[in-house]
């Protein structure tokens, strides 16, 4: 019996080692495919992600680390308290969670938890509905650049936002009575901007690393035929057609890959809404990285991401009936040609990324505590 228990305890390590060996072999077998996927994902980070999201990441940290969050909590606090059953100081974080992009709300929530302004339970509840794409990504990038139709971008943004608000209000019903007013401000004197830029720099670097890694894994899945096999198996069981199944599976892994497949296969708006609300495992890892210890069970987080996606698809279906839009104009997947028209260049994004790295080095040196002088011992 003891031998069986020992063998079972070794299984995770055996599976992990097998996975590492298989990934190493796949990287050696398909170097060109992985190289192209990594290059395209880096270009996406430099031209889309960093120019559009980095300012919001700084802003989300600044609203929490400075008195701005407390000032915004005065007019918006009643909405947070009576609508979502959260302290008034959460109002700015909730707002950033719907307007700033996927990790912005998580970053603000993590800072509130770190400062002791909210409980771990409240932070976990916020993570169930404060992870949403911002209008810069959905309307400008997806609607205006990829689909060529800004009206569709607004339809998708309203669908995802409305479903997130419904989730937050429903969760508030189980949050008990509205919490008391927020505690008095406890901001450190000065340095809020520096700490905001430093935290945003770390977050952006982690986000880019996650996106590049998932692009490489997705390319390997396509090259080895695993992705195609999963699409055939899933489409044989579900109501989706094989092209829509491929797009849905890509959305589950990584949001930009899902957008590319959905655009190539001319999927309907409801599938886009589902993918945008779910966010993809790549976004989930970025959200987890914002917390030293994630405040809620990851399985429950994943379940609510699926629920958010289904609600967003339903809202999109209803809104498209009320506000009909023209057919999607997309015909090509996301690529270098699709991201070039945006208000960012690879050189500008690379410069900003290098500035982030340099700022982290300088800030790290300034924040490191000075070593106490060595005591001289008498001989």
Average pLDDT over the chain reads 81
Domain coverage including residue 58: 29-176+193-365
What digits encode the pLDDT tens for the residues 180-223? 665 555 555 457 788 888 888 888 888 889 889 999 999 999 99
Q: What is the pLDDT of residues 86-102, one digit of tens each?
A: 988 888 889 889 988 88
Question: What are the pLDDT digits (tens) for 235-279?
Answer: 888 788 899 999 999 999 999 889 989 998 989 999 999 999 999
- In sequence order, which residues have a C-beta less than 8 Å from that of residue 77 and are 6 or more positions away? 87, 88, 89, 91, 181, 182
Supply the pLDDT for residue 256.
86
- For the chain, report the end-to-end CA distance as a whole number of angstroms: 62
Structure tokens at 303: 């379940």
pLDDT at 273: 96
- Tell whether 102 is covered by a domain: yes
pLDDT of residue 259: 92
Q: For residue 65, is pLDDT > 90?
A: no
Q: Is the pLDDT of residue 370 over 60?
A: no
Q: How far apart are CA 190 and CA 199, in angstroms?
A: 15
Q: Is residue 376 situated within a structural domain?
A: no
pLDDT digits (tens, 9 = 90+) for 268-308: 999 999 999 999 999 999 999 999 999 999 999 999 999 99
Cα–Cα distance, 141 to 211 (Å, whole number): 17
> Shortest CA distance to 303 belongs to which of 38, 107, 82, 124?
124
- Better-predicted residue by pLDDT, 4 or 198: 198
Is the pLDDT confidence value at 347 over 70? Answer: no
**What is the number of structural domains in the chain?**
1
- Residues of the chain with pLDDT > 70, as a percent, come to 80
Do the domain assignments include residue 188?
Answer: no
Question: Residue 336 above 80 pLDDT?
Answer: no
* Look-up of token digits 């916020």: 126
Q: Which residues of 319-351 are buried (b: 16+ CB within 10 A; e: fewer)?
A: bbeeeebeebebeebbeeebbeebebebeebee
| 15: in domain | no
CB 165 within 8 A of CB 132: no
Q: Is 5 contained in some domain?
A: no
Other C-beta atoms closer than 10 Å to the C-beta of 27 total 13
Does residue 176 or residue 275 have the better pLDDT? 275
* Domain-embedded: residue 304: yes
Q: pTM for the full model?
A: 0.79
Q: Considering the domain boundaries, does residue 34 fall inside one?
A: yes
Residue 352 maps to a domain: yes
> What is the C-alpha separation between 132 and 305, in angstroms, rounded?
10
């Amino acid at each position: 019996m003891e031998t069986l228990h020992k063998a079972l305890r070794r299984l995770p390590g055996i599976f992990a080692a097998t996975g590492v060996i298989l990934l190493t072999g796949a990287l050696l077998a398909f170097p060109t495919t992985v190289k192209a996927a990594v290059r395209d994902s880096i270009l996406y980070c430099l031209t889309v992600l960093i120019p559009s999201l980095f300012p919001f990441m700084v802003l989300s940290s600044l609203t929490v680390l400075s008195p701005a969050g407390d000032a915004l909590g005065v007019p918006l606090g009643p909405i947070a308290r009576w609508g979502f059953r959260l302290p008034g100081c959460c109002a700015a974080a909730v707002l950033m969670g719907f307007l700033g992009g996927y990790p912005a709300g998580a970053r603000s929530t993590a800072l509130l938890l770190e400062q002791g302004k909210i409980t771990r339970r409240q932070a976990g509840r916020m993570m169930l509905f404060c992870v949403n794409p911002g209008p810069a990504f959905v309307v400008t990038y997806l609607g205006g650049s990829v689909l060529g139709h800004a009206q569709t971008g607004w339809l998708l943004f309203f669908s995802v936002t409305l479903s997130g608000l419904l989730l937050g209000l429903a969760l508030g019903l189980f949050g008990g009575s509205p919490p008391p007013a927020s505690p008095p401000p406890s901001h450190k004197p000065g340095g809020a901007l520096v700490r905001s830029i430093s935290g945003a720099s770390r977050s952006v670097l982690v986000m880019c690393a996650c996106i590049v890694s998932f692009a490489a894994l997705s390319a390997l899945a396509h090259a080895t035929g695993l992705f195609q096999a999963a699409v055939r198996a899933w489409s044989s069981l579900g109501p989706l057609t094989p092209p829509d199944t491929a797009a849905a599976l890509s959305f589950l892994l990584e949001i930009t890959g899902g957008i590319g497949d959905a655009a190539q296969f001319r999927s309907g708006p409801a599938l886009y809404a589902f993918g945008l609300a779910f966010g993809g495992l790549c976004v989930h890892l970025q959200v987890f990285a914002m917390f030293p210890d994630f405040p809620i069970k990851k399985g429950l987080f994943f379940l609510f991401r699926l629920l958010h996606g289904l609600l967003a698809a339903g809202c999109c279906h209803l809104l498209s009936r009320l506000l009909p839009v023209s057919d999607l104009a997309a015909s090509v997947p996301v690529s270098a040609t699709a991201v070039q028209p945006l208000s960012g260049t690879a050189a500008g994004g690379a410069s900003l990324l290098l500035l982030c790295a340099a700022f982290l080095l300088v800030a790290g040196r300034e924040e490191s505590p000075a070593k106490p002088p060595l005591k001289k011992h008498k001989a």
